[in-house]
Amino acid sequence: MNVLLLYQMKVENQFHDLKSDGFTILKKIIPKSAINNLKENIYQSTFSNKMKSPDKILFVANLFKHNQSIAKYLLNTKLTNLIKLCLGEHHKISFVSSIINEPGTSRGKWHTDWPFNRHNAGHIDSPYPDAIMHITTVWMLSEFSHENGGTLILPKSHKNSFNPTSYSKDPILLNLDNEMNVTGDPGDVLVFDSRLWHATASNLTNDPRISVIIRFAPWWLNLDVLKPGSRQRKFLLNSTKLPENVIPLFTKSEFNYLPDKIKPLMIQYLNM
């Protein structure tokens, strides 16, 4: 059978898994030879620029302002072809965050990602249509295992018309039937529908679990609420009285270092 045809079938199978189960895993997107340097660089950048986050979790929003070492791997065709099937030819990057779960990280609450989390000012109200409107990718720079807190997910939960943030401000910390830890090797990428229920898992090891979270949006999804100082952000913060994520904007010099094919996906975060 033609190699190109086999490749296309594999991408379509992964798209089917994502639509059916809410997630899929792309293997070896980052080569093994690059992992150690990437992991060390991103750990240092995250530690140096860490922002407010839960206990024992290090977090940086718009990592590409400080470290673009992972950016070239976003051009891997396994990823780009899957994102196109999910969101169409014209899409953009909404978030690039580094997250490090230090030893002793506690289990977190069940939630869905922006724009489905009702605890954020900018959110889509339930009931949700059964359509892919936002994609979350988790880039594993450490091994993801049961022991070190590979992300907890609830397969097929993206099909629900509601999520754990829909009706209550109280965190849902319960163990749920059919929940599972995502497991994978350094260099693998978890791709999931942002409606999928997921939670931080406890890191019971002595080593940090290092990852980068990159999210994708269709061209039509308004990201202005995430931009500091925007009129849309001010309006929604004032009218909802809810908090919201904020994406620090690029300076021109920071933006110019991005790979040319990534620039159009992040132009909305350039400080003009």
Domain residue limits at 25: 3-269
Using one digit for the tens of pLDDT, what is the confidence trace for 136-152? 999 999 999 999 999 99
Q: How confident is the model at residue 166 (pLDDT cuts 50, 70, 90)?
A: confident
pLDDT tens, residue by residue, 27-63: 999 999 999 999 999 999 999 999 999 999 999 999 9
Read off φ and ψ for residue 55, nearest 5 degrees: -55, 135
Number of domains within the chain = 1
Q: What is the CATH number for 130?
A: 2.60.120.620
pLDDT at 268: 98
pTM for the predicted model, two decimal places: 0.96
Range 206-224 average pLDDT? 98
